Amino acid sequence: METNVLTRKHDETRQAASDSRKFYIESYGCAMNFADSEVVASILQGAGFTGTRDFREADLVLVNTCSIREKAEQTIRSRLHIFRQAKRSHPSMLIAVLGCMAERLKSKFLEEEKLVDLVVGPDAYRTLPLLIEEADGGQKSVNVLLSRDETYADIAPVRLNSNGVNAFVSIMRGCNNMCSFCVVPLTRGRERSRNPGSILAECRDLFENGFREVTLLGQNVDSYHWHSGVEGEPAVSFAELLENVAGISPLLRVRFSTSHPKDITDEVLHTIARYENICNYIHLPVQSGSTRVLQRMNRTYTREWYLARVRRIRELIPDCGITSDMIAGFCSETEEDHQETLSLIRECRFDMSYMYFYSERPGTLAARRYPDDIPEVEKKRRLDEIVKLQNQISQESNRNDLGTISKVLIEGDSKKSATAWMGRNSQNKVVVFPKTGQGFKKGDYALVKIEQCTGATLIGQSL
């Protein structure tokens, strides 16, 4: 479970803190949801609220939810029960459900979860102040309208739980792909790109405020496409946007997520190779190693296509970190299909992967068309094999780094000890090294010689 709380208060809100109403926000799911919570915090501050880290003292509790797997929804439901208990001793408290579960369940939420007061979908956050007013008057408020053009481009996010070094920047919303297993197109609506001028302004502002890494976010960043609508003006592609952000300063690292194997272009790969500050790291979810299963998933590429993209990445960016997502036990997956996923993992040698077993989501193409016919024990056995193999390859990948020198952006103290720094290298691997008097601080770059490793961390000494 991941929790996001407001940590940075602006002067004007601090001044008003004693008499203003307090909000508490908790976020689940993908980075886009966490970025959305920062937009929500900004809208609420504009409406006179201040943030709190303690939900018991909040007048407004917001839960930004995720529907991607059934398990995610269960976790959120049990959290809602805890907030409902807090509301019993604080009856004026409002509870708001935001995000993908709000969009999926709509007003059903109000019937199912009796003490929820507001249900607000991902494209309706601007209406929050109005909805809160309605809810204050005792009305249950719902706005789950999806939009074709909302990108919140003009709203300056309030950075939540920030280390002051890394920040997420949304560059687009929604998704036009129809992967048959996936609920996102239903909860987030049609794809739309954000004005590049506002993206660059946000990144510049972050840099000027000491941030040293931005991650550009979209469900499928390669299909970023902006046109002003003015005849004669050129369109802006993802590669061009990436290049413009990288041009802000060589000291600002740029990452992005997520790339789709069918859309990632050579132009993007050349751009990464050209700029030292665009990280050599690509998250390229494959989902399955079997062409037959990929077709059923409606991923629109084959195993061979995926392998060819990985070869191209390695050719153009030889030291690129590549990570992936995998789903075990999708509808009709045979043992042979599963073995193909394992062999693809061996061939690609991903540095790391997010691995799941298939969870049927109501309303998706797969739920409507294909029986969820792999028993749960079998899904879990296959997932287990995938995880074991990936862990072994991750270990080997880290061992291959022993003796090399990594340029590390320092993010803060290591989790285990305040006498060591923690940061990440270009390939997105976590690097820990002792603080040895070179006068480094958060946000600095350090050259670190890698001397030891675990499955998830590189350990070294700064030069």
**Which residues are near ligand SF4 by CB under 6 A?**
175, 177, 179, 182, 184-185, 219-220, 260
DSSP bridge partners of 95: 61
- Binding to ligand SAM in span 191-220, by CB under 6 A: 219-220
Contacts with ligand SAM, 243-282, as mask; x by CB under 6 A: ---------------x-x----------------------
Query: Could you give the CA distance from residue 262 to residue 265 in angstroms, rounded to a whole number?
Result: 9
User: Which of the choices ligand SAM, ligand F3S, ligand SF4, none does residue 67 contact, using the CB cut-off of 5 to 8 A by kind?
Assistant: ligand F3S
How many CB atoms sit inside 10 A of residue 37's CB?
26
What three-state secondary structure class fits 368?
helix
Among 4, 33, 287, 364, binds ligand F3S (CB under 6 A): 33
Backbone angles phi, psi at 448, to 5 degrees: -125, 130
Interaction between residue 260 and ligand F3S (CB under 6 A): no
* DSSP states along 17-64: TTTS-EEEEEE-SSHHHHHHHHHHHHHHHHTT-EE-S-GGG-SEEEEE
In the complex with ligand SF4, the residue whose CB is nearer, 13 or 219, is 219
285: alpha, beta or left? (left if phi > 0; alpha if psi -120 to 50) = beta
24-32, 333-341, 343-351, 407-415 -> range binding ligand F3S (CB under 6 A): 24-32
- Three-state secondary-structure class, residue 176: coil
Q: What is the Cα–Cα distance from 394 to 403, expressed in whole angstroms? A: 17
Give the footprint of ligand SAM on residues 317-346 (CB under 6 A): 325, 327
Measure the CA–CA gap between 379 and 359, rounded to whole angstroms: 10
Instruction: Answer yes or no whether residue 356 interacts with ligand SAM by CB under 6 A.
Output: yes
Residues binding ligand SAM: what is the number (CB under 6 A)?
Answer: 18
67 binds ligand SAM, rule: CB under 6 A: no
Kindly state the number of chain residues that form the binding site for ligand F3S, as judged by CB under 6 A. Answer: 13
25 is a contact residue toward ligand F3S (CB under 6 A): no
- Give me the least distance between CB of 73 and ligand SAM, in Å please: 11
CA distances in angstroms from 342 to 13, 290, 294, 346, listed in the order given: 53, 10, 14, 6
Does residue 390 bind ligand SAM (CB under 6 A)? no
Binding residues for ligand SAM, rule: CB under 6 A, are 30, 68-69, 181-182, 184, 219-220, 258, 260, 285, 287, 325, 327, 356, 358-359, 361
